Chains A and B, each alone.
Chain A
Amino acid sequence: MYRFPEGLYVDVRIEETFETKISFKKTTLQQQKVRSNKGAFIRVFDGDRWYYSSITDISRVQESIDSLARMARPNPDINNHPIVKEFEVNIGTVLNFSERSVTDIPVEEKQALMESYLHLLDRPEIVHHTSYYVDNKTIKSIYSSKGTAVTFDKQTCGIRLNLDIACGESKDKGAVSKAAIYFDEMKDLYGFFTEQIEKSIQFVKEAEPVEPGIYPVLLGPEATGVFTHESFGHKSESDFMVGDETMKAEWALGKTIGQDLLTIIDDGTVLGNGYTPFDDEGTKGKKTYIIKNGKLTGRLHSTATSAALGEPLTGNARAVSFEFEPIVRMTTTYIEKGDRPLKDIIAEMDRGIFIDTVKHGSGMSTFTMAPARAYKIENGKITKPVKVSVVTGNVFETLAEVDAVSEEFELLSFVGGGCGKMEQFPLPVGFGGPYTRVKRLSVQ
């Protein structure tokens, strides 16, 4: 296949992408775009430094390998380097989407489906809307000088309706979306979209400014997903920990950081936005318990961080596209469901805030969530909608404040956006979980 130079570790990732985007402004077709592109990312490691190249001309892969090899210093013992020893060698083909592939659906059928939902937006309160259907199928092949040769695919599709809502002087934007794996799953979503649109309109009509303060906060599955991702998920990405003794001590495996009811999992084998049958180094996707019954039990790894910290590979080295190197990222990250009915959890709350949907979140020492739809909880009931700028909490304290998780549970994938980590944005990830109650969060 390729000539790998002696004394160096080399891997090559080739990505072949098929994408469709069909967009409407109100009921006018704005765009119908179908693209197929290819690109390659090449890595060479001499035991001291990595050398990377990203190219769009696949015929130049060998040339790129040779060019990077000239920059490197061959190391006769490279195969005994701890990182190189750590690489899994996998051979095989995992093509799950050869059948029911989005590439086989005529674009006209996709457009017709999208158009069929537009009448739901014909409401006087919706003064403008943009809507789009998107799909993506990517086939990746990874070859390494250690012998890895894997080919695998992933597929997603989805519809997003962006709404501009005006009810008198109350104005806001809203978004309703649904993502899936197969095109068929995007059909017959009239009930789902109607309900979400209605909630968005009601919110704009009735929402009042929140009284800022500290509240018990109940998070819906979407908000639980953002909370998990931002408050703790990024902490579990172990590239932040390499060479950092303080972090290693603070986040030592076995440490108790939450109540027994709290279990957090990252699972690359879940179909959806975060599906990663092999990561971008060719490591098999895995299910990793990051927190089990309140105790820290695992971390997310690339080969380099796994070797550096002496912990098992988890298959979390991911790149946003062929233009970038793989770094440690989440796949599908969620809080495991509990055993309490949601209605019981709400019933015991005299006062609080329920966060239904979220615009964005962030996670440093303070994690944040900007709610899209939030509601008051009064005397055991979800009542009036409230406008909230931002909800914040301290990442070191908040997990210990989780005191209830519901038996109701939902994993979600989204259309548009994704996870950002420095220059690599947006990476598709899956998230979600149960309804989760946090005893104290700052609500502004």
Chain B
Amino acid sequence: MEREFITIREKETAFRVQNTRINAVRTKDILKKGVRVYRDGKIGISGAVGDLPDDILIDSAVKNLSTNIEYPYKLSGDRKDHRNYNENPMTGEELLKHSEDILDVLRRDYPEFDFSERISAKEVRWTMTNTAGLDLEYRDAFISLGLILKEKKSANLFDGFLMYYGRSLDMDKFWAFNRDYLAAYNNPVPLPEADVLPVFTFEFGELIGFLAHCLNGERYAVGSSIFSGKLNEQLFNDKIVLKQNMDPIYRAEPFFDMEGTVLENDTYTLIDKGKLTGVFTDKRSADLYSLPHTGAASGGYDDIPSLQGAPIRFEVDSDDIKKTLDGKPALLVAVSSGGDFTADGSFAAPVQVGFLFDGERIIGRVPEFTMSSHLNRLLGDDYIGTFENKHLYLGEGLTLQGFYMKITK
């Protein structure tokens, strides 16, 4: 009988902010353990929050074998890979000092706003080991600043956000960007007069979610993806390269999937120069549908691994937004909540906070608007490019993506 162990340890110090002052300090120390056993092509699972002894968890997993859930796949093994993505994490005391400093400046220089919510520092350690020789460890530590911005004269619940996510915090860069951002916020400008405008986003969640749904290997194989049957077809603009990307630099999650698979260079290409070259799979779906295995098993620490979503990311394919725009006015989406794609690819979303953008700096805040398009246009003729984010100090690894979209006031 093979055995497999997953542990997740999370320690967090968080400062809760209300009315631009820290009003609470929270510490967390959470341990979660999962155990899997494999016998005669079956899998049994168990798990616990807290430090339950391994032998109790193993006994429980062995009992779970009676469910007769088949798992006839070769265990990932014979690999030791320990990685630490932040050797010098910020301490709680250092974060408190930075947080107090940031809030002091916001109270002093921006009295027209109220800031609330949370600044935190988190340390995580994941391990996945098994009796087949797998020994994986992912350690990381990151800072998350998410402050709701509210104009004191506004009756909205909130009017925007200050945000940052990364492994270190450079206060000079933070203020250089956020002073520009808050100045632009205080500079209302009209929407440029045009039905279609270049729109830039740094977190196009609806697009990533829609593509992840369509690139799921199981959906592809059974025919429910709009990409079904189109492998090796040119679907999109030939600049576009989209990969399953497990690199923790971009997402602060383990470099391995929940079956212990580690990809070469932590990536697997799904769309290459606009052509569909792959779909993501776990061991089961790869075997069942004769597809290449891409290491995309998901699930909780105490779940049987399964295929759900996968982290996908556009590769940078363009350089210098300002040059690309060549003086044309563009919009930058800061807050867009509630939009969606229809099943056939039509897209619409309200933009609650947007800015006029010249490719490097944000110039002024535009009124709320709705942007709309279709998947085939967004990633076809209306695709401008994916750019490295060189100017907006919002977080590590963020890219900026540009598309021409229909704008409705």
Contacts and interface: CB of A to CB of B under 8 A. Distances in A.
Contact of A444 (B67, B148, B372): B372
A53 B29 CA distance: 8
A234 B114 contact: no
A370 B156 contact: no
A325 B26 contact: yes
Contacts of B25: 49-52, 71
B219 A128 contact: yes
B343 A246 contact: no
A387 B344 contact: yes
B75 to A, nearest CB: 18
A390 interface: yes
A204 B347 CA distance: 17
A23 B350 CA distance: 35
B158 interface: yes
Contacts of A77: none
Interface in A236-275: 239-240, 242-247, 249-251
Contact of B337 (A38, A52, A165, A364): A364
Given A32-B67, A49-B25, A52-B25, A325 B16 contact: yes
A29 B306 CA distance: 12
B45 A33 contact: yes
A216 B344 CA distance: 25
A292 B84 CA distance: 57
Contacts of B382: none
B193 interface: no
Interface residues of A, number: 72
B28 interface: yes
A173 B224 contact: yes
B48 interface: yes
Nearest to B368: A366
B338 A55 contact: no
Interface residues of B, number: 69
Given A243-B18, A323-B28, A389 B339 contact: yes
A56 B49 contact: yes
B338 A368 contact: yes
Interface stretch (A151-159, A344-352, A354-362): A354-362
A33 B303 contact: yes
Given A32-B64, A37-B50, A166-B224, A52 B27 contact: yes
A54 interface: yes
A361 to B, nearest CB: 7
Given A52-B24, A56-B30, A164 B224 contact: yes
A contact face: mostly helix, strand, loop, or mixed: strand
A189 interface: no
A39 interface: yes
B338 A360 contact: yes
A33 B64 CA distance: 8
Contacts of B135: none
B152 A364 contact: no
Contacts of A39: 30, 49-50
B342 interface: yes
A204 B306 CA distance: 27
Interface in B340-379: 340-344, 346-350, 352, 368, 370, 372
Given A33-B302, A243-B19, A361 B50 contact: no
B131 to A, nearest CB: 22
A250 B157 CA distance: 11
Which of A33, A173, A388, A422 has its CB near the most chain B CB atoms (within 10 A)? A33
Nearest to B29: A55
A143 B244 CA distance: 48
Contacts of B370: 392, 442, 444
B213 A396 contact: no
Interface in B24-47: 24-32, 45, 47
Contacts of A365: 156-157, 159, 352, 368
Interface string B325-347: 00000000001011111111011
Interface in B266-291: none
B226 A30 contact: no
Given A53-B26, A325-B24, A392 B350 contact: yes
Contacts of A310: none
B324 interface: no
Interface string B55-77: 00000000010011110000000
Contact of A422 (B27, B118, B219, B304): B118
B340 A366 contact: no
B372 A389 contact: yes
A235 interface: yes
Nearest to A174: B343
A444 B69 CA distance: 44
B28 A29 contact: no
A105 interface: no
Given A368-B339, A389-B348, A396-B155, 7 more contacts: A33-B45, A52-B24, A209-B342, A209-B346, A240-B157, A246-B155, A390-B340
Interface of A: 23, 25, 28-33, 35, 37-39, 49-58, 71, 127-128, 164-166, 170-173, 204, 209, 212, 234-235, 239-240, 242-247, 249-251, 323, 325, 359-370, 387-390, 392, 396, 422-423, 442, 444
